[in-house]
Amino acid sequence: MNTAKAIRPILQLKRLEVLTDVVFGIVLWRTFMLIPQPEAADWKWKSVQPFLADNLAIFAIVAIGIALTIIYWVQNNALLGSLEETNVLHTSLSILQIFFLLLFLYSIRLGMFMGASPGTRTFESVAAAMVGISGGWAWMYATKNRRLVRGDVTDQEVKEIGNRIMAEPITALITIPFAWIHGIAWEVSWLSYLIILPLVKRKRRS
């Protein structure tokens, strides 16, 4: 009985990993499906060039969505892969992160159907920030006093994962003002992640 009770948190972690992988896979597929499909009834393009020209904004949005999804997926794999087990609170926080990821995908679709605007772009940025914030919250809980962390994971590795998690919502929040300036400025502002990550690492080392 005691053995079964001890194994349960480990099995719960495996189930959480499977759930997360399935959701991220669906998100990538649904993001790709935002691109107009040839079998659509309103398909109007006869050659590739006008198709690309008319859907340039959609391709940009899809590229951002896929890039962020990959970043969050890699982050999530590092987070869950560093844990020995999970519990109810950590699982709840992880599922909350999945919810915000789905909300982020919804915000992308909303922007496409309503048309890109400062409001829809802000919605996307806030949703992306909440993905990172909820993931960071789960990581902070899991690593406090190393309550859920595997024994072979070093404190330095814990800190490095925390750095990546912290940089992502900061980047998303920084993009919000640019959403009200111009669409291209907002899209380019996501590249600030490449600057923010080393700054976060330097700050936390000092």
Q: What is the pLDDT of residues 169-196, one digit of tens each?
A: 899 999 999 999 988 899 899 888 888 8
Crossing angle of helices 88-114 and 56-81, in 10° steps, is: 180
CA–CA gap between residue 39 and residue 41 (Å, rounded): 6
**Mean pLDDT over residues 111-126, rounded?**
86
Query: SS3 for 174?
Result: helix
The predicted pLDDT at position 167 comes to: 85
**Chain-wide mean pLDDT for the chain?**
84
DSSP annotation of 176: H
The residues near 121 (Cβ < 8 Å, ≥ 6 apart) are 111, 175, 179, 183, 186
Assess contact for 90 and 15: CB atoms under 8 A: no
Assess contact for 27 and 69: CB atoms under 8 A: yes
The predicted pLDDT at position 1 comes to: 45
Give the pLDDT band of residue 92 (cuts 50, 70, 90): very high
The reported pTM is: 0.77
Give the pLDDT band of residue 130 (cuts 50, 70, 90): very high
The predicted pLDDT at position 85 comes to: 87
Closest by CA position to 93, among listed 127, 136, 126: 136
CA–CA gap between residue 206 and residue 201 (Å, rounded): 9
Is the pLDDT score of 5 beyond 80? Answer: no
Assess contact for 28 and 69: CB atoms under 8 A: yes
DSSP per position, 25-42: HHHHHHHHTTSPPTT-TT
The predicted pLDDT at position 74 comes to: 82
Is the pLDDT score of 104 beyond 80? Answer: yes
The predicted pLDDT at position 206 comes to: 56
